[in-house]
Structure 1
């Protein structure tokens, strides 16, 4: 659950989409990069503002959404 603290939801950032650490990095973009075949290392090399834990947090967030488990919004 500690990874989910990295996911923030703020109506003033990216139209309220779940993002990484209040940055303009929506979780859906991270998942899309992974889905396109990029590795975690490739993403981090291309986007040094991101951290490995941000990628893992995005995956955990997506997993919880598809599992139907309740997600408490991390502030």
Structure 2
């Protein structure tokens, strides 16, 4: 399984936000924990369902989001 495949979007889980492996761990929450200073090992220790590869998948997903080539404004 590729890392990015660990990130799933399901309208029935967390209101369709990107999550880790269909679990109720939104990508944004993991990024908040990391930006607050938690290490990958600390997150994995605190959340038994998560694996180190899940956190690496969050990084891969965030990287893809920053690689947008163009943002187009749509008029309301």
- TM-score, length-scaled by structure 1: 0.87
In 1, distance between residues paired with 2:66 and 2:15? 21
Aligned-residue offset at 1:51: 0.3
Aligned-residue offset at 1:67: 1.3
Aligned-residue offset at 1:68: 1.1
Q: Which has the higher contact order (CA 8 A, sep 6+)?
A: 1
Question: CA RMSD for the aligned pairs?
Answer: 1.4
Note the 1:20-31 alignment, pairs <5 A: 20-31=20-31
Q: Which runs of 5+ in 1 are unaligned?
A: 70-75
- TM-score, length-scaled by structure 2: 0.86
Q: Which runs of 5+ in 2 are unaligned?
A: 70-76
Count of paired positions: 69
Q: Which residue of 2 aligns with 1:3?
A: 3
